[in-house]
């Protein structure tokens, strides 16, 4: 299946100053698949080594990290000569061999540039355990679950994906296309962006089997909690993980430690949340009261929301019924709009907003997302269903004059005074530059 990250992989390959690449991301997001596909299409041969499946490979890095000696052993092991530029060397689950990770430094320093990629699901957790990290000697990419645009590609609707990507101004999409996008968006809210779930749906359109995939993935994640932490920590991880959907379903979505345990304290659970972030399982959105640049300078470290990495998994954890797919717009307002806000968080992260923020004002108003791009600040209110309520945006606009105000709903693109509406399926196009120019001259 096509992934947007492929273009970045090609740019990495063609970079004359290329460093070994580490592809990060949560388990089951498709890291191994995309790197194997990249090797198959762009190289003569892929030398694939999986440190989890083949733990004996670690011995090649035990006595020496000299890359030429390592390459000699790896060539014998895989039965083919590993050649610079012609062979893609792929170290999978590299976090299982800290010395292999360290060796990337020396691959980078070779005169002959070998193409080395690696992947790992728990790199942020296991890095530096027993060997130094090759700081400054590697480059990173991160793979997320399928975005809505990628989902359209995955359904074979490439023309609709192209239509979405070519939106460059705030004018309504033709109604027939708008309705089709909404139909696909509802399906995405159920299937989500995990590659195996999309593949299962494409096989026979059986949503019950898709949900079984979700449950299997969730079980695997909780198994990781037990496998990679001690018993007390795994219990805290599991309890924290399971309470996130419950908190998102509340009107006030701010993360509360007391929801995990009556006696939970921030200092006890901060490391737990960092673990979930490093594993790629949650995205954090920080509260700010003053929207000034840089936004990171005004965030409150102890007040935040947590979103799950995938809306399909969120639905599985909240036992969303597949019948909501055919129940009009009720899907978007289920659980106080939890799905809608989580979806927008996912899309923004996938679009390159590395850190999310939301704004509150003396408990009287809350804008769901506040983002910065090109030295501008963009508040974005997310509404479930066809709601036109915009009290919080108006409060924000009165407080910060000349702000560029936006909403995301299931309605089509629309100018509503100084507030402009984005259809939820087009959040990936936010903010449209022509919109900013219009707002400033309005």
Q: Is residue 29 part of a domain?
A: yes
- Per the DSSP assignment, residues forming a β-bridge with 392 are none
Q: Does residue 432 have a pLDDT over 90?
A: no
Mean pLDDT (the chain) is 90
b/e 217-232 (16+ beta carbons within 10 angstroms → b) = beeebeebbeebbeee
Q: Is residue 199 part of a domain?
A: yes
String of DSSP letters for 272-316: HHHHHHHTTSEEEEEEESS--SSGGGGEEEEEEEEEES-HHHHHH
Residues 316 and 415 in one domain: yes
Query: DSSP state, 58?
Result: G
Confidence of residue 177 (pLDDT cuts 50, 70, 90): very high
Between 424 and 328, where is the model more confident? 424
Residues 236 and 198 in one domain: yes
- Per the DSSP assignment, residues forming a β-bridge with 282 are 308
Q: Is residue 278 part of a domain?
A: yes
Between 353 and 133, where is the model more confident? 353
Residues 322 and 421 in one domain: yes
Block residue for tokens 């909780």: 222
Q: Looking at the 3D structure of the chain, how many domains does it have? A: 2
Q: Does residue 438 have a pLDDT over 50?
A: no
Q: Does residue 1 have a pLDDT over 90?
A: no
Q: In this predicted model, what pLDDT tens digit does every residue of 49-65 receive, in sequence order?
A: 999 999 999 999 998 99
The pLDDT assigned to 363 comes to 76
Q: Does residue 83 have a pLDDT over 70?
A: yes
Residues 132 and 164 in one domain: no
Q: Are 26 and 121 in contact (CB under 8 A)?
A: yes
Q: Is residue 265 part of a domain?
A: yes
Residues 314 and 416 in one domain: yes
Q: In this predicted model, what pLDDT tens digit does every residue of 4-27 receive, in sequence order?
A: 999 999 999 999 999 999 999 999
Domain-ending residue, one of 108, 142, 176: 142
Q: Does residue 415 have a pLDDT over 70?
A: yes
Q: Is residue 46 part of a domain?
A: yes
Q: Is residue 1 part of a domain?
A: no
Residues 313 and 422 in one domain: yes
Residues 113 and 185 in one domain: no
Residues 128 and 246 in one domain: no
Q: In this predicted model, what pLDDT tens digit does every residue of 358-394 receive, in sequence order?
A: 999 987 899 999 999 988 999 999 987 666 677 899 9
Q: Does residue 442 have a pLDDT over 50?
A: no
Residues 75 and 188 in one domain: no
The four Cα atoms 182, 183, 186, 187 give a dihedral, to 10 degrees, of -140
Q: Which domain holds residue 112?
A: 6-142
- What is the pTM for the complete model shown? 0.92
Contacts of 296 (CB under 8 A, 6+ apart): 355
Residues 240 and 127 in one domain: no
The pLDDT assigned to 313 comes to 97
Q: Is residue 397 part of a domain?
A: yes
Q: Does residue 326 have a pLDDT over 90?
A: no
Q: Which run of H or E residues covers position 242?
A: helix 231-248
Least confident of 144-148, 262-266, 323-327: 323-327
Q: Does residue 122 have a pLDDT over 70?
A: yes
Residues 178 and 252 in one domain: yes
Block residue for tokens 């000299």: 66
The pLDDT assigned to 151 comes to 98
Per-residue pLDDT, averaged over 127-149, amounts to: 83
Residues 217 and 253 in one domain: yes
The pLDDT assigned to 290 comes to 93
- Give the CA distances from residue 387 to residues 56, 106, 189, 364, in Å, rounded to whole numbers and listed in that order: 58, 57, 18, 19
The pLDDT assigned to 353 comes to 94
The pLDDT assigned to 125 comes to 57
Q: In this predicted model, what pLDDT tens digit does every residue of 203-230 receive, in sequence order?
A: 999 999 999 999 999 999 999 998 878 8
Q: Is residue 137 part of a domain?
A: yes
Between 401 and 196, where is the model more confident? 196
Confidence of residue 28 (pLDDT cuts 50, 70, 90): very high
Domain-ending residue, one of 120, 142, 164: 142
Q: What is the CATH number of the domain that holds 55?
A: 3.40.50.300
Domain-ending residue, one of 142, 171, 204: 142
Q: Are 323 and 351 in contact (CB under 8 A)?
A: no
């Amino acid at each position: 299946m096509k992934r947007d990250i492929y273009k970045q992989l090609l740019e990495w390959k063609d970079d004359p100053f290329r460093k070994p690449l580490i592809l990060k991301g949560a388990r089951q997001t498709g890291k191994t698949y995309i790197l194997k596909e990249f090797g198959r299409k762009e190289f003569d041969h892929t030398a694939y080594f999986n440190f989890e499946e083949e733990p004996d490979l670690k011995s090649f890095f035990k006595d020496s990290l000299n890359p030429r000696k390592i390459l000699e052993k790896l060539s014998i092991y895989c039965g083919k000569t590993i050649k610079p530029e012609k062979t893609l060397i792929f170290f999978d689950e590299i976090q299982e061999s800290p010395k292999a990770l360290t060796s990337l430094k020396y691959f980078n320093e070779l005169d002959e540039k070998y193409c080395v990629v690696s992947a790992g699901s728990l790199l942020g957790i296991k890095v530096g355990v027993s060997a130094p990290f090759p700081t400054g000697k590697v480059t990173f990419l991160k793979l997320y679950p399928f975005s809505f645009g990628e989902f359209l590609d995955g359904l074979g609707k490439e023309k609709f994906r192209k239509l979405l990507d070519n939106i460059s101004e705030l004018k309504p999409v033709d109604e027939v296309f708008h309705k089709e996008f909404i139909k696909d968006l509802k399906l995405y809210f159920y299937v989500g962006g995990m590659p195996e779930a999309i593949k299962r749906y494409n096989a026979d359109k059986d949503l019950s089997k898709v949900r079984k995939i979700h449950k299997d993935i969730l079980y695997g994640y909780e198994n990781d909690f037990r496998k990679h932490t001690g018993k007390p920590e795994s219990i805290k991880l599991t309890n924290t993980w399971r309470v996130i959907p419950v908190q998102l379903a509340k009107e006030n979505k701010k993360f509360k430690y007391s929801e995990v345990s009556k006696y939970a304290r921030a200092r006890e659970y901060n490391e737990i949340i960092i673990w979930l972030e490093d594993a790629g399982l949650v995205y954090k959105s920080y509260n700010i009261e003053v929207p000034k640049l840089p936004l990171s300078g005004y965030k409150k470290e102890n007040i935040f929301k947590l979103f799950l990495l995938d809306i399909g998994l969120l639905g599985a954890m909240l036992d969303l019924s597949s019948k909501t797919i055919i129940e009009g717009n009720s899907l978007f307002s289920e659980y106080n709009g939890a799905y809608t806000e989580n979806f927008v968080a996912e899309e923004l992260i996938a679009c390159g907003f590395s850190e999310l923020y939301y704004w509150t004002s003396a408990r009287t108003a809350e804008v769901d997302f506040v983002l910065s791009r090109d030295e501008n600040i963009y508040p974005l209110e997310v509404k479930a269903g066809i709601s036109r309520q915009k009290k919080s945006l108006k409060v924000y606009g009165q407080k910060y004059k000349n702000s560029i105000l936006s909403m995301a709903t299931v309605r089509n693109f629309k100018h509503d005074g100084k507030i402009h509406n984005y259809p939820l399926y087009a959040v990936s196009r936010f903010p449209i530059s022509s919109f900013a120019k219009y707002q400033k001259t309005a």
